[in-house]
Structure 1
Amino acid sequence: MAGDYPDPSVTKIGDTYWATATTSNWGAIFPLLKSKDLTNWQLVGHVFPDGPPAWADYYFWAPEISEDGGKVYVYYTAHRKGGPLSVGVARADNPAGPYQDLGPLVGQPDGSIDAFPMRDENGVAYLIWKEDGNSANKPTPIWAQRINDAHTALTGEKTELFRNTAPWEGNLVEGVSMVRHEGYFYAFYAANGCCGRGCTYATGVARSRSLLGPWEKYAQNPILVKNDVWTCPGHGTAISRGNRWFMLHHAYNTNGFENVGRQGVLSEFRWNADGWPEFLDNHSVPTALAANTSRRDFSDEFNGSTLAPTWQWPVEEKPQFALRGGKLLLTARTDHSGAALGQSLAVADYTATTTLDPTALPASTVAGLAALGDPNNTLALVAGEGKLRLRQMKGGKPQMLGEVALPAGKALHLQLQARSGNQYRFSWSTDGKTWQNLPADGAAVDGSFLPPWDRGVRVGVLAQGPSTATVGFEGFQIASLTR
């Protein structure tokens, strides 16, 4: 699943595999993807397309999709307004939705995250989750507790299954997914540091005859570690296809790393003679999909009636927009870097372009092409107020990196080129053929400050100005570059 798809979850419903993944502070919340073969995925919607559920505000993590009793459930983590990280659940009649939020299930003082539903050896339904003790320099117990038939509340007492005790696990274990195989429950789990260039994530496994234990960790843990293609593999779901077994998990590609984000990776494993899972050659390679130019590249001429589902926005600052006459009409915002819409990336080397009419820009408004980390961290080439400016927002502090007089004409083409994920060059053109750099020497701008610790960069458009101002963009393209 090429692109920023952390903590992926997958299940089979009928003859179709369904997957979802973390969106963190990007909307729309929790993608819904389907596939017939675990390799070729189609984005068909989102669990919460219109914004957060009423009880939560940000950090939408680790959705787990499953079917039970003819209904589809997505258990997920979110930050409770005025409270801790909590586990909630949403329900639908169809995996494509629409989903009804059923509210939070558990939110311990240090936080509760990474839920997974599982029935015990007697068919009783439980919820498995992690207590987020590492956020307070404490251990991280994995808990199990019964859930009621309506999936709206936990019942009885919780039971600890295991916690971080092995040296390789560092300060946490998390992201548990379970399968039952030949009389054992197997808990695949992630451990150590998940995110960023200094990540130390890896995958381990434990097993038990009974869901509530006792649990035995595999002596050969970790069973899935980094290699020359993927690093920090972890937090996924184990699933079978025929008589083959796989885990859909995330990992950073070593070309692009945190700038592209944690991508969905399918790794195959087998059961050894002692009944433990062993990943094949401990090596996952990019699938044909991940190398497919059609996934690496993106083009939107804004000719439809609705925005393509791959567009994203800061989850707490959903912009107002419309499509009309082959243009994306984006309503400006005054705060942070302005209103923003962006696309997730599948590669570290690419060119992005868009076009706008500078003569149609409203007063006191700037708009253009941007690399987006979050609302307080952006690099943007913007037009407005008689100038074409290269603007940096770092930690909420703006800085001008270059400017020229706004060129005459009704078509202004803006271009961003990225190399190695974080080296950006910006240029502009009045005819789309002859390009001029800004700054004029064409020096690269270091954008390594852009991605937050838990997500990749987006590239897209922004508009900053009064809320009465609307900017029209005429097309947007991303084209991958070869090294």
Structure 2
Amino acid sequence: MLISRKSQVNLLTCLTVTGGLLLANTAAAQRLAKAKTPAATAAKAATLIANPVLAGDYPDPSVTKVGSTYWATATSSNWGPTFPLLKSDDLQHWSLVGHVFPGERPAWADYYFWAPEINHDENGKIYVFYTAHKRGGNLAVGVASADRPEGPYTDHGPLVGQPDGSIDGFPMLDEKGQSYLIWKEDGNSIQKPTPIWAQRLNADRTALVGEKTELFRNTAAWEGNLVEGPSVVRHGGYFYMFYAANGCCGAGCTYATGVARAKNLLGPWEKYAQNPILTKNDTWTCPGHGTAIERNGHWYMLHHAYQTGSFQYVGRQGVLSEFEWTASGWPQFLNNHSTPAAPAKVPPVVQDEFADATLSSAWEWPVEDKPQVALRGGQLQLTARPDRGGAELGRPTLAANYVATTTLLNPATLPAGTTAGLAALGDPNNSLRLVASATQLQLLERRDGKARVLAETALPPGATRAVQLRMQDQGGSRYTFAWSTDGTTWQPMLPGTATADGQFLPPWDRGVRVGLVAQGPAATATFERFELVNNQ
């Protein structure tokens, strides 16, 4: 996209290009370039970063430092459990340790659990400000608190929910030490502008007090129909707000990152003339919505982006990008995305032997349909809720090419009308699944809630006690399925080189999950071992 700029010199002819301005007068161009892009003040060597640092679907990541440990969380949208909790010693190597809401979602909200911002006060109390859709209402910003980063968290309900929707809450102390909440009014949902607001928080950070103040809104051409995802830091006497703008998601995304600054938190705010400061490159597309943080004298932003090639199928992954401060005091990303870059590291194999007494926190489920799960002796029993008739467990995909396998035990004993198996899951209404019943194997497509049989075969005699199921994905959307009774000889469900098309699977704001399903009014299915082999 071309970004219009005002002419800086009356008699110069300007041409807007991706890398900046080409000016007809070389001497004037050099003077203008020197004035617009001062030398950076930092002389430190750039950090070697292996992105993604959060492989898989981790939109809108936020990060804070508690003691010597970094803690992060991210959007979970319509997957439960709600809001992952991760920790790291170096911002690059993260481990999933739990969730803000590991069981049921907050009672006041039903779906769209977005943009959690993890933060702590001067006494060490932890807060997560988050967005969710209010039952019977619109999007609102809520808050939960805990005495420790790992929880448990107590939910305090919504802080603000404007008629057009309120999202992307971020807490910040002003120049006097007063705590404020900054958020976006979701005007773009009804073709209106998107103001960024600030309003005081009470001492407990559980309610807003006083009047709200608009900081700025989408006014620049590159911002399109929205500005959102504010993240504020103080540096050199200024407040700096990093923010995202334009289209966040999907194959047509146009997301990028800009910055504005102010001497006082309530403004006036000045947008940087060279926005956007973080845009797509050959590896990462549509970068934005993250948190700025300092470590060992280096400044970074943990944000999300789509990896070029896999795009919306894996989802928006967590990327760490380094920036420095120019002589004029503005942030400048190092060659756009954290350079130099180390080779990306995605776990080659993910396994679950179901040997623990409790389900691994890496498993997810549709937020409105938490299934019944039991683990016994290396087996997982998945039971559909009687009122829903179906159960789904999924794990985020980590690459665009992968192979997933599992073993379904005793398919011949499944009750009539019951199926169970392996699936690629977009959401409850969109999936591809290889399932067994007591009599047959079926490859099913569920698109917009409507089921269609792509292939079927009789359940072979050797599969009555156990059948192994395999699903292979190429490029994020080309699926093949096969079954085996011995784990060595595999029988394809589709003829020859035919594939099932999975382009319809991912919702607009999520990546695809792969996992286990059970369907039927009295469905309880037993699985042994799940394995996901990732190929870059």
What's the TM-score bracket when you normalise by the shorter of the two chains?
over 0.9
- The answer for the alignment partner of 1:298 in structure 2 is 350
1:46 aligns with 2:99: yes
Q: Which stretch of the first structure deviates more once superposed, 131-140 or 403-412?
A: 403-412
TM-score w.r.t. the length of structure 1 is 0.97
The equivalent of 2:21 in structure 1 is none
Quick one: which amino acid aligns to residue 117 of structure 2?
E
1:146 aligned counterpart, secondary structure: strand
- 1:449-474 deviation per Cα after TM superposition (whole angstroms, max 9, x unaligned): 000000000000100011x3311001
Where do 1:163-182 residues align within 5 Å?
Answer: 163-182=217-236
Relative to structure 1, the CA distance from residue 288 to residue 42 in structure 2 (aligned partners, 3 Å threshold; closer, same or farther) is farther
Distance in 1 of aligned mates of 2:301 and 2:79: 25
- Who is 1:275 aligned against? 329
TM-score, normalised to structure 2, is: 0.88
What secondary structure is seen at the aligned counterpart in 2 of 1:291? coil
Q: CA deviation at 1:284?
A: 3.8
Residue of structure 2 in register with 1:397 after alignment: 450
What is the rounded CA distance, in whole Å, between the counterparts of 1:288 and 1:481 in structure 2? 17
Supply the AA of the counterpart residue of 2:454.
L
Confirm whether residue 376 of structure 1 aligns to residue 429 of structure 2. Answer: yes
Distance 2:388 2:481 in 1: 21
Whether the 8 Å CA contact 1:29–1:60 is kept in 2: the answer is yes
Inter-partner Cα distance in structure 2 for 1:481 and 1:209: 48
Please report how far the alpha carbon of residue 70 of structure 1 lies from its aligned counterpart in structure 2 after TM superposition.
2.1
How big is the shift at 1:411? 1.8
Residue aligning to 1:31: 84
* Aligned counterparts of 1:337 and 1:373: Cα–Cα separation in 2: 18
Q: What is the rounded CA distance, in whole Å, between the counterparts of 1:129 and 1:446 in structure 2?
A: 39
Question: Which residue identity does 2:492 align to in structure 1?
Answer: N
> CA separation of 1:342/1:173 partners in 2, compared to 1, >3 Å: closer, same or farther?
same
- Partner Cα distance (1:289, 1:322) in 2: 39
Per-residue Cα deviation, 1:47-67 (whole angstroms, up to 9, x for no partner):
000021110010000000001
Structure 2 equivalent of residue 319 of structure 1:
371
DSSP-derived class of the 2:225 partner? coil
**Structure-2 separation of matches of 1:135 and 1:232:** 20
Percent sequence identity over aligned pairs: 68
Instruction: Determine the structure 2 residue equivalent to 1:351.
Output: 403
2:254 corresponds to 1:200: yes
Q: Deviations over 1:418-458 (max 9, x none)?
A: 00011100011111111111123341111010000000000
Q: Distance in 2 between matches of 1:335 and 1:286?
A: 53
Read off the aligned partner of 1:232 and give its amino acid letter.
C
How far off is 1:297 after superposition? 2.3
Instruction: Say if 2:156 is the partner of 1:89.
Output: no
Q: Distance in 1 between matches of 2:399 and 2:338?
A: 17
Per-residue CA distance 1:287-339 (angstroms, 9 max, x = gap): 769414xx242100101101111000000011111101211100025788821
- Aligned length in residues: 479
Displacement of 1:364: 1.9
Kindly provide the amino acid, as one letter, of the partner of residue 253 in structure 1: Q
CA–CA distance in structure 2, aligned partners of residues 283 and 73 of structure 1? 29
Aligned partners of 1:97 and 1:65: how far apart in 2?
12
Residue among 60, 65, 83 paired with 1:12: 65
Match of 1:252 in 2: 306
Q: Structure 2 matches for 1:37-116, cutoff 5 A?
A: 37-68=90-121, 69-116=123-170
Are 2:516 and 1:461 equivalent residues in the alignment? yes
Q: Give how far 1:255 is off.
A: 2.5
Structure 1 residue 385, shift from structure 2 partner: 3.9
Distance 1:198 1:125 in 2: 37
SS at match of 2:55: coil
Structure-2 separation of matches of 1:110 and 1:351: 43
In structure 1, the gaps of 5 or more residues are none
- State how far apart, in whole Å, the 1-side matches of 2:341 and 2:168 are: 27
Q: CA-to-partner distance for each residue in 1:121-153, whole Å, 9 max, x for gaps?
A: 000100000000000100000000000001111
Please show how residues 229-248 of structure 1 align to structure 2 within 5 Å: 229-248=283-302
| SS class of match (1:311) | coil
**Matching of residue 150 in structure 1 with residue 204 in structure 2:** yes
Question: Partner residue of 2:75?
Answer: 22
Query: Are positions 1:437 and 2:489 aligned together?
Result: no
Secondary structure in 2 matching 1:135: helix
Cα distance between partner residues in 1 of 2:428 and 2:141: 26
Counterpart of 1:190 in structure 2 is: 244
CA distance in structure 1 between the partners assigned to 2:159 and 2:349 by the alignment: 40
Q: Could you tell me which amino acid in structure 2 is paired with residue 7 of structure 1?
A: D
Amino acid at match of 2:395: Q
**Is contact 1:336-1:396 (8 Å) kept?**
no
Instruction: Check if 1:210 corresponds to 2:264.
Output: yes
2: CA distance between counterparts of 1:290 and 1:350? 16
Aligned residues of 1:208 and 1:215 also touching (Cα < 8 A) = yes
Task: Report deviation, 1:408.
Answer: 1.5
Whole-Å separation in 2 of the counterparts to 1:360 and 1:304: 26
SS of the counterpart of 1:281? coil
Query: Which amino acid is 1:422 matched to?
Result: S
Name the CA distance, whole Å, in 2 between partners of 1:429 and 1:225. 46
C-alpha distance in structure 2 between counterparts of 1:226 and 1:335, whole Å: 45
Cα offset, 1:110, TM superposition: 0.4
> Is the alpha carbon distance of 1:96 and 1:244 closer, same or farther for their aligned partners in structure 2, counting shifts above 3 Å?
same
Residue 201 of structure 1 aligns with an amino acid whose one-letter code is Y
Listed one character per residue, the Cα deviations across residues 153-175 of structure 1 (whole Å, up to 9, x for unaligned) are 10000000000000000000000
Structure of greater Rg: 2
CA contact (8 A) 1:416 1:424 kept: yes
2:213 and 2:131 map into 1 onto residues whose CA distance is 20
Q: Distance in 2 between matches of 1:306 and 1:273?
A: 54
Partner of 2:361: 309
Within 2, Cα distance between the matches of 1:334 and 1:288? 49
Q: SS in structure 1 opposite 2:495?
A: coil
Q: Which amino acid aligns with 1:304?
A: D
Given that 1:337 and 1:378 are in contact with CA atoms closer than 8 Å, whether structure 2 keeps it comes out as: no
Q: Distance in 2 between matches of 1:286 and 1:348?
A: 24
Aligned-partner Cα distance in 2 for 1:401–1:73: 48
1:89–1:32 CA distance, 2 compared to 1 (3 A): same
Is the CA contact 1:2–1:290 (under 8 Å) kept in the aligned structure 2?
no
CA distance in 1, matches of 2:238, 2:366: 42
Query: Which residue type is aligned with residue 229 of structure 2?
Result: G
